Amino acid sequence: MACSALRTGYRHLGAARSVVQGKRDMWKLLGKARYCTASNGDEVDRAKQATVESSRFRNKKPTIFSKIIDGTLPADILYEDSKCLAFRDVNPQAPVHFLVIPRFLLPRISQATSEHVQLLGHLLLVARNVAEQQGLTDGYRVVINDGVHGSQSVYHLHVHVLGGRQMSWPPG
Ligand SMILES: [Zn+2]
């Protein structure tokens, strides 16, 4: 299921395809490195564990996303600039499922202050632009998980964008 969704995603890559081509083999190696959205139970368990770890390290522990930012971990990158990058979720929950993350480490949306206004606006605009680039003309869902009840599993702020199918409401 996840694999066919991933292949569908690749078909939508279009212009980004050549950039991504070289990363594909390494990307396949990541198949088991699920970080954002596994089955529901997994996600909740890992979210709780992530919270324990983040409080132990005062939310400054490098995450899997830090490694994607510094290039030590490959990702299927769709867009990047000086402030953020967008890449496909390794375990997609929709035909199109990508994340937008700031390069700057802000662990949680609940820790944002007025000094992050521009950054937060930028993340949403990039989410919108990449959604358009991915052909999500019938709409999409934008999600930010925060903390335990939000099932946040990586303590580096990230915006989920999901599309290509009908979303239900309310979310679980
Ligand atoms: Zn997530």
Quote the pLDDT of residue 53.
53
Quote the pLDDT of residue 62.
79
CA of 37 to the centre of ligand 1 (A): 6
What CA–CA distance (Å, rounded) separates 76 from 10? 10
**Type of residue found at 153:** S
Q: Confidence class of residue 172 from pLDDT cuts 50, 70 and 90?
A: confident
CA of 84 to the centre of ligand 1 (A): 16
Catalytic status, residue 158? yes
Domain boundaries of the chain, sorted by first residue: 2-163
Of the candidates 97, 156, 158, 160, the residue annotated as catalytic is 158
Q: Confidence class of residue 98 from pLDDT cuts 50, 70 and 90?
A: very high
Bridge partners (DSSP) of residue 142 are 161
CA of 86 to the centre of ligand 1 (A): 13
Q: Which CATH architecture group holds 2-163? A: 2-Layer Sandwich (3.30)
Whether the per-residue pLDDT at 76 is higher than 50: the answer is yes
Q: Is the dihedral angle over the CA atoms 141, 106, 70, 148 positive or is it negative?
A: negative
* 2 against 131, higher pLDDT: 131
Whether the per-residue pLDDT at 166 is higher than 50: the answer is yes
Whether the per-residue pLDDT at 44 is higher than 80: the answer is no
Whether the per-residue pLDDT at 2 is higher than 60: the answer is no
Quote the pLDDT of residue 1.
36
CA of 131 to the centre of ligand 1 (A): 17
